[in-house]
Structure 1
């Protein structure tokens, strides 16, 4: 995964975030509650940054929730979205304790959203950088976001954008000048297996 030029974490900071995810998941499956530890000392972890936490069981998607609007610090978002991914992703039943042994995860820390001019869908397709760009589309009624990791299953710009529109409630062939377009990159921390 690409490393963002503006953002990096030390091995210790990454290890601390991974530990927070495991603690949050264990508390979620054991008690059905969110994990609220004491704040870390690292200034980077205290910085308000948006993130998504993606869970996999046997390498199959098991939950993914996050935010593109950084209201809370990175460590708080990691704790909260670990819980939400495990217990509140509507696509899945809540994570069970027996699944933890087969679980892996990714923490995707988002760069700032970069607005793009809406010059039509074809212009967007030509601008996208596969496996680098994440994409957010929104209008008054719909919104949808794909992380750069989604390129692994939707490798062309056309399939990526069409699936994102469908996720947001638009038809695959819909386009409007009212759609707002935002591009971003991610710094990804993987749990391993």
Structure 2
């Protein structure tokens, strides 16, 4: 069920995300749960990174970068921490395992929106 999937993914994010140390029992009271439902990603037909930066809508667009077996995404909420489109893309490329300055003509850029619910 959807509820079981939300629980399983919350536990995986808290305990098994290799990018972060596992959440400790002492941290649990400070955690908040947010569920984001994504729209279907749409390919952005852009010729270069500068065009992508110009067309991104901070605070609205989630972004997926993919090339070959590498793929990374940032939800629109990440704009709160990385409001500059150039920095947003640099950090997303690093998340995918590419250097911050990486760009390739075959890199696929997709955008999506989310509807998010946060526990009260």
Q: TM-score, normalised by structure 2?
A: 0.89
- Structure 1 stretches of 4+ with a deviation exceeding 4 A read none
- 1:126 is aligned to 54
Q: CA RMSD in A?
A: 1.6
The answer to whether structure 1 residue 172 and structure 2 residue 86 are counterparts is: no
**Structure 2 unaligned blocks of 5 or more:** none
Work out the number of aligned pairs and report it. Answer: 120
Q: 1:154 aligns with which of 82, 86, 93?
A: 82
Q: Does the 8 A contact of 1:118 with 1:180 survive in 2?
A: no
The structure showing larger relative contact order (alpha-carbon pairs under 8 Å, at least 6 residues apart) is 2
Displacement of 1:110 in angstroms is 0.9
Secondary structure of 1:75 counterpart: helix
The CA deviation string for residues 28-60 of structure 1, in whole angstroms up to 9 with x for no partner, is xxxxxxxxxxx4xxxxxxxxxxxxxxxxxxxxx
Secondary structure of 1:101 counterpart: helix
The answer to whether structure 1 residue 139 and structure 2 residue 72 are counterparts is: no
In the alignment, the residues of structure 2 paired with residue 78 and residue 171 of structure 1 have an alpha-carbon distance, to the nearest angstrom, of: 32
In the alignment, the residues of structure 2 paired with residue 82 and residue 168 of structure 1 have an alpha-carbon distance, to the nearest angstrom, of: 21
Displacement of 1:129 in angstroms is 0.4
**Structure 1 unaligned blocks of 5 or more:** 1-38, 40-73
The answer to whether structure 1 residue 115 and structure 2 residue 43 are counterparts is: yes
Q: TM-score, normalised by structure 1?
A: 0.58
